[in-house]
Amino acid sequence: MLTEDVAALADQRHSPAVDVYAAASVVHALFEGHPPYDLSFLARSERGTFSAYRLKTEYAPAPLVGVHGNAPDIAAVLAREPEVAVAVGRAAAEAEGAVSPARVRLALCQVDDTVAPLVEACLAVDQRQRPTASAMRDGLAAFCENYAENVGRALRGEPLADCALGGDAARAARAAERRRRVARGVLRAACAAAGAAALGTAALLVHGMEVSIALDGLSWQGTFPGWLGALLLALPALLGLGLRERDLVSTAGAVRGTVGTLVGAAMSAALLSAVSWPAPGVLPALYAALFMVTTAVTCGFAADRALAPSSAASAGGRAAASSRRPVLPWGADPSAPKRMATQRTSADAPDASSTALPGAAGALEVFYEIGEE
C-alpha cells in the first residue's frame, strides 16, 4: 500500500484498522480464491501510473460470489467441503420434498452472502468506517456458528441469521448509540429553544407597532401584527427544513438545508429592511433575532449530521461510497471503464431452476452419503 501518490501515507498505517483491512483481504481470498485486487507485477505494469494505493482507493473490488456461486458443479465443490456437505445433507433430509442441486446451490449462495456486508465494511477506504477488530471477530464467529443452521433456513425459505455484533462489542455499540441519541436530542432541544425564544421576543417587540411599507411604488401603512414578524424571522427555518426534508445523514442533505437556511435569512432580511419602523433600534434588534434563528437552525443541521444513528451513518455512508467507486473485477484494466460492472448483473445471480446445474442429476446422493457418516 505504500506509494508516493499520497504524502505521509506511512503515518496512516499505524492503526488497528489496517489489520482489519488485511484480515478482510484474507477472508475475501478464502471465498474467491484471490485477494480483492489484482496487484501482480504484470497487472500493475499494464495499468500505467496507477499505484496499489490508487487502485484500492479509487476502485471497489468485485462483490463476493464465492465458490458456491462460481463453480459449475456444486457436487464437486461439496466433495471438497465435508463439513458443508454434512450440513447440506442434514438440511436436505429434513426438507419437504425433493431438493435439487440448483436449490442447494442457491441456498449456499444466500448463506455466503450474509458475510459479504462485513467484508465490504472491513475493506472501506476510510479507516474510521471500518469495524473494530473485536467486532470483525464477533461477526465472523457468528457467521461460522450460524452456518449450518442458515443452510437449513435457506432451504426452507426462512430468514437467515446475519453476522451481527455480539457480546461486549454489541453492548459497547448500544451504549454508544444511546449516548449519541441523548446528545442529539439535547442539542436539538437547545437549538429549538434558542430559535423559539428569538421568534417570541421579536413577535412581542413588533406587535402593534405603526409601520409603513413601500415596495416599487406600492405603499401600505398600519399596525404590524406580531405573528407576521415571527413568520418573517422563521423563513430560514422553513426553507432549510423544506430543502433538507428527512435527509438527516448525508452531506447532501446538510448542504441543502444550510443553503435553504441562508437563502431564507437573506429574504427575511430584505423584507424586514423594506419596513419603516417607528424607532431606529427596532431593525437592529430584528436582525439580531434573525441571526439567532439562522444560527440555531444551522447548528441543528450540524448536530443531526454529526450525531446521526451509527447504523444509518456508517452503513449508508459505506453504501454511498461504494456506489460512487467503479467496480474493478479481478484482472481488469482500469483504463477500460466500460468493461467494469458497477453492480452485480442478473447473470451473477445463481439460478434457482432445476436445470441450473447441467448433468448434476443425482448429485444430492453425495450429500446424503456424507451426512450419514
**Residue 52 lies inside a defined structural domain of this protein:** yes
- Assess whether pLDDT exceeds 50 at residue 322: no
Residues 160 and 31 both lie in one domain? yes
Residue 317 pLDDT class (50, 70, 90 cuts): very low
Which range (50-54, 145-149, 182-186, 361-365) has the least confidence? 361-365
Least confident of 21-30, 50-59, 251-260: 50-59
Total number of domains constituting the chain: 2
Most confident of 5-19, 133-147, 188-202: 188-202
| Model pLDDT, residue 225 | 92
Q: Would the pLDDT of 4 be above 70?
A: no
Q: Label residues 35-63 b or e (16+ Cβ within 10 Å = b).
A: ebbbeeeebeeebeebbeeebbbebbbbb
| 113 burial type by CB count under 10 A (0-12 exposed, 13-18 middle, 19+ buried) | middle
* Domain membership flag for residue 28: yes
Higher pLDDT, 233 or 8: 233
pLDDT by residue (tens digit) across 68-113? Answer: 888 888 888 899 999 999 999 998 888 777 788 888 988 899 899 8
Q: Are residues 135 and 248 in the same domain?
A: no
Angle value at C-alpha 256, between 178 and 300, nearest 5 degrees? 35
Tens-digit pLDDT profile for residues 168-194: 555 666 677 788 888 988 999 999 999
Residue-level pLDDT at 201: 94
Kindly state whether residues 201 and 158 are assigned to the same domain. no
User: Mean per-residue pLDDT for 291-306?
Assistant: 91
Same domain, 179 and 157: no
Q: pLDDT-derived band of residue 36, with 50, 70 and 90 as boundaries?
A: confident
230 pLDDT above the threshold of 90: yes
Q: Note whether residue 193 is domain-resident.
A: yes
pLDDT at 219: 82
Query: Of 287, 312, 337, which one is at a domain's C-terminal end?
Result: 312
- pLDDT digit string (tens) for 267-287? 999 999 989 999 989 999 999
For the ranges 49-63, 318-332, 340-354, the one whose mean pLDDT is highest: 49-63
The answer to whether residue 360 scores a pLDDT higher than 80 is no
CA angle in degrees (0–180, nearest 5) for 363-93-74: 25
User: Residue 358 pLDDT > 60, yes or no?
Assistant: no
pLDDT score, position 339: 43
Is 359's pLDDT higher than 50?
A: no
Distance separating alpha carbons of residues 331 and 250, to the nearest angstrom: 33
pLDDT for 50: 61
Same domain as 144, residue 50: yes
Could you tell me the residue range of the domain that residue 102 belongs to? Answer: 9-165+326-371
Note whether 80 and 102 are same-domain residues. Answer: yes
- Do 204 and 330 lie in one domain? The reply is no
2 found inside a domain: no
> Residue 43 above 60 pLDDT?
no
Does residue 332 share a domain with residue 251?
Answer: no
Q: Distance from CA of residue 255 to its chain's centroid? A: 18
What is the model's pLDDT at position 204?
93
Residue 46 shares a structural domain with residue 193: no
Query: Quick one: pLDDT band at residue 335, thresholds 50, 70, 90?
Result: low
Average pLDDT of the residues in 367-372:
37
Would residue 346 count as lying in a domain?
yes
Q: What is the mean pLDDT of the chain?
A: 77
Confidence (pLDDT) at 318: 43
Give the cell for residue 245: 426534508
Same domain, 14 and 116: yes
Distance of CA 289 to the CA centre of its chain: 37
Mean pLDDT across the stretch 234-241? Answer: 94
Phi, psi at 164, each rounded to 5°: -75, 160
pLDDT at position 174, please? 65
Domain boundary (285, 312, 339) is at 312
What pLDDT, on the 0 to 100 scale, is given for residue 172?
63
The predicted model gives 336-343 an average pLDDT of: 44
pTM above 0.75, yes or no: no
What pLDDT sits at residue 175?
Answer: 74
What is the reported pLDDT for 282?
92
SS (H, E, C) the chain: CCCCCCCCHHHHHCCHHHHHHHHHHHHHHHHHCCCCCCCCHHHHHCCCCCCHHHHHHHCEECCCCCHHHHCCCHHHHHHCCHHHHHHHHHHHHHCCCCCCHHHHHHHHHHHHHCCHHHHHHHCCCCHHHCCCHHHHHHHHHHHHHCHHHHHHHHHHCCCCCCCCCCHHHHHHHHHHHHHHHHHHHHHHHHHHHHHHHHHHHHHHHHCCEEEEEEECCEEEEEEECHHHHHHHHCHHHHHHHHHHCCCCCCHHHHHHHHHHHHHHHHHHHHHHHCEECCCCCHHHHHHHHHHHHHHHHHHHHHHHHHCCCHHHHHHHHHHHHHHHCCEECCCCCCCCHHHCCCCCCCCCCCCCCCCCCCCCCCCHHHHHHHHCC
Greater confidence, 215 or 190? 190
Domain membership of residue 319 (yes or no) is no
In terms of domains, do 259 and 185 share one? yes
Region 312-333 average pLDDT: 54
How large a percentage of the chain has pLDDT more than 90? 27
Together in a domain, 249 and 334: no
**What distance, in Å, lies between the first and last C-alpha atoms of the chain?**
47
b (16+ CB within 10 A) / e for 335-355: eeeeebeeeeeeeeebeeeee
